[in-house]
Structure formats: structure tokens, C-alpha cells
Structure 1
Amino acid sequence: MLDADSTLIRNEVIELIADEAGRGPEVAAATEAAMRGEVDFATSLRSRVERLTGVPVSAFANVLARIEPTPGVRELIDAVHARGGAVGVVSGGFHEILDTVAPSLGVDVWRANRLAVADDALTGVVHGDIVDAEGKAAALREWASAAGVPLACTIAIGDGANDLKMMDAAGLGVAFNAKPAVRERADVVVGPVDLAEVIALLP
């Protein structure tokens, strides 16, 4: 199972959306603090999403055009499928982008936050429960159980503090392109920004 932003893809989607509102730098600074674990993720996300108020839904097309899949992601997903496995993505980002990106890369199942919309523009509110660290770990357990895969046979790949609980829940926690606190707690650290490096870790 993979995180999305800075793992499945090279971008931080909330920063791309913020660029559409002219608030990219301030949101990027808040995102960095959240990923280092300096602030509560849910609180930080609500604050950052509030800064997106008024961004038109049509701006998602511009955001999608800027998405860059992480090098090696297709090779890793193909390798998992070749072994009879499945690939899940759970993200503190947004379904509005992941619903296009995930299936295009061959991801089997995914979960993310949703942005509330009114009059074809963002309201600055997250709709429904926030996918936080506990939500990511819960998704890993749920999907593994549904697929009949023992947790010991799962791999979780992430970069930020919000990924630590799912990495702890998995059989193998992989720090990828990760913050120092994540590298310290991971079972394995992958240095190169190339997801194909993870293929050697597959069972």
C-alpha cells in the first residue's frame, strides 16, 4: 500500500490546488510542517483547505495536467500484479484528483479526502471524515482482510508522519523520499526516488 502525494506521485496536490488560488507558498509551508509531524494532520488539513475557498472546480484540469507519476511506479505496480498481489493507495489528499490518477496507473483500490463544493467552487471545507494516520492504518487492515492477505505479507510505503501508523501496521514499512522522523522508524529506507527499487522487497 502506498501514500499518494510525494510517493505514488511526485507532487503535493494541495499545493497545486493552492497555486490556482495564488496561495501556493503559504500552503506549502503548512504541508511541510504537517509531514514532519510538527502539527496535528487533521487540524493542519482543515486550515490548508480553508485557504482553497473559492477555487473553481474547473481548476482541477490544470492540477491534473501538472501531476507527475513517481519514477518506477508503473514497474512496481506491474511487479505486484505479476505476483498475484494488489496495490492500494490511501491518501491525505483528495479523491477529486486520485480518482483519475489511481486507475491510470493500475492501482486496484484507493481512498482519500473529498472537498466540499458549492456553485462549482470549493467551499474551503473537507467533506466527511478526514483520512488521517489512523484512517490510513485502518484502510490497510480493511483491504488486507478483504483480500485474504495476512498483515505480515503487506508492505506500506510512505514519506510523512501521517504514514507512520500504516507503516507500523504493515508487515514491512518502507520510508520512501521520506522525512527524517519517518526514516528513523521505518523497517527499510529507500533512498533513490524510484519506486522500482521496492520490487526487490516484494515477497
Structure 2
Amino acid sequence: MLIARLIADTATLDSALDTASAALSARGWAIAGATMLDFCGEVLQIDLADGEPAEVRRILSDAFAPSDLLLSAGPIEVPHLFVSDMDSTMIGQECIDELADFAGLKDRIAAITERAMQGELDFESALKERVGLLKDLPESAIAQCLAERIRPMPGARTLVETLNARGCHTVLVTGGFHSFADPVAEMLGFTRVVGNVLGVADGRLSGDLAAAIVDSAVKKTTLEQEMERLGPGARSLAMGDGANDIPMIQAADYGISYYAKPKARAASDGWIERGDLTSVLQLFDIPRAEWAAD
């Protein structure tokens, strides 16, 4: 059994469902049921007796685009663990790119960031190169960048605090830096932070990292360790937008990409490409009356 939940344009929902049904039937996968989760609600649930998940996602994506979607091979349950990337997922910026602007290097560093997120560059090498270019930048630029540039994604705090209220353990895990991630986590409500540490000497960035690198393997390991701690029966949700997030997205029970790069989207069980982060709450059928205030 496959269960798909999606949010799409209600004005074209019926025709899109017909298109999807025809495409699925052509592959021998009949829709067993299609219902709105709530009367006059926004979330459509589609049940299929069978189907190949990647192809089902492609068909639904083509039929309902743009959409917010989650496809699961079993019942969709509110997760016990939420592990999320930070840059361009929980916040609207790439911190290292914004920090580079204070050094007059934003275009140069942003180009490296983009290639790394697309999976075209090795993450560790790309990170070390970018951090090296920031050498001698005053440490005070971090606080200024936080105050002037860094803003949460719409719905981020509502998502995190609502999951917290449901007893979900929330972890912010980032290839970015604790200097940014710790304040962001406090602002949004995350209970744990895993990130990189910028080297500082005499009030200036040293151009290197002061601790072991948090890369895609560490992100996945963080999720696995937290799930082991939670024990059997726990469900996990992972979110991100770039190639560095793929291993943890694939390791989670529910891997959702957020306005992601193509490789990350293809690796995910679903995506947010229409609404904001509160769409995740809708896909897990958490009533609006239970959402935390943003």
C-alpha cells in the first residue's frame, strides 16, 4: 500500500486527479481511494494498492504541479524525531554567502556554495575553500550578519514548536556554523544543534575550522543515533534542500525536500514546492488549532 498526501491548486484538483489516475492506470496501478483529509480541507490523500514509489511521485508531480507532497509505503504518523538542515531550509539564506558579503567575496563564495549544493563539488573541499577565503574577517561580522541578514523561513517556528508540543525531538543539523545555528535554533525552538565551528584568533576568523567537519555522513549518523536512542517504533522526519542532505533524507522514515536542488528532490519521499513550512504540519494531518503561534 502506498499513501500519498498532497496540497495543490483546488481549482484544478479534479482534472489533475483524472490525469494522475489515467497515468497510474496505464502502468497497472489503480487508485484505491482519493479523499480530502478534512471537509473543505486542502490535503488530498490518495491510496494505491501498489506502485513503484519514484514513478508514482513523478506522475503525481507532473499532474499536480506545483504541489506539496508526501508519499509513504505505510501509515503516515507524526514523527518522534525531526532532523533538519538550516540554510535555505529553516532560514532563507546561506550563512556563509551572507558572511562573505562583508568581505566583498559573496559572488565568488556563493558560486562555490551553489555547486556544492547541486552535488557538483565535494562538500568538505568546498567548505574548506570557502572558509579559507574568509580569513581575517572580523569576528564581529558574524553578529552583524545575524542581525541584518538572517531571517527564518515562513512557518519555521510554527513547525518546530508544534512538533515539540507533540513530543517530537527536534534537531538542527547543518554544514554551516554554530555561530549562526545556535541563535537560529533558540529562535525556532530546536532542542539540539549539530554544526561546524569557525576558527577565531585575535578577534578575526582564522580561515579554518576549529572542530571536525559536519558533512552528509555526520547528518545521517546524527539521525541514526537519535533514532537508536528513541528506540523501536519511533518515526523520523528529515528535511533539507541540497546534495549534502541526501543521506539523512534517505535514512529517515519521511524525507522531505524544501524547494530543493534536483538531486535532493529526487532522493526524497516528498517535497514542499507550493506553500511554506506549515505545509508539513498539514501533510501530517495536525489540526491548525494545535499549531504553535509563529
SS at match of 1:131: coil
- In 2, Cα distance between equivalents of 1:193 and 1:62: 30
The question of 1:120 aligning with 2:192 is answered: no
Cα gap change, 1:201 to 1:117, in 2 (>3 Å): same
Cα gap change, 1:151 to 1:34, in 2 (>3 Å): farther
Q: 2:105 aligns to what?
A: 23
Give the root-mean-square deviation of aligned CA atoms.
Answer: 1.4
% identity of equivalent residues? 42
After TM superposition, list the pairs within 5 Å mapping 1:29-40 onto structure 2. 29-40=111-122
**Quick one: which amino acid aligns to residue 35 of structure 1?**
M
- In 1, Cα distance between equivalents of 2:212 and 2:90: 22
Unpaired stretches in structure 2, ≥5 consecutive residues: 1-82, 286-294
Higher alpha-carbon deviation: 113-122 or 81-90: 81-90
Cα distance, 1:75 vs. partner? Answer: 1.3
The question of 1:194 aligning with 2:276 is answered: yes
Report which of the two has the higher share of strand: 2
SS at match of 1:87: strand
Report which of the two has the higher share of helix: 1
- In 2, Cα distance between equivalents of 1:151 and 1:95: 31
The question of 1:44 aligning with 2:119 is answered: no
Unpaired stretches in structure 1, ≥5 consecutive residues: none
- In 1, Cα distance between equivalents of 2:218 and 2:104: 30
The number of equivalent residue pairs is: 202
After TM superposition, list the pairs within 5 Å mapping 1:135-174 onto structure 2. 135-146=218-229, 148-150=230-232, 153-174=235-256
- In 2, Cα distance between equivalents of 1:156 and 1:144: 12
Q: 1:10 aligns to what?
A: 92
Q: 1:62 aligns to what?
A: 144
**Quick one: which amino acid aligns to residue 95 of structure 2?**
V
Q: TM-score by structure 1 length?
A: 0.95
Q: Is the 8 A contact 1:95 1:113 kept in 2?
A: yes
- Answer with 1 or 2: which has the greater Rg: 2
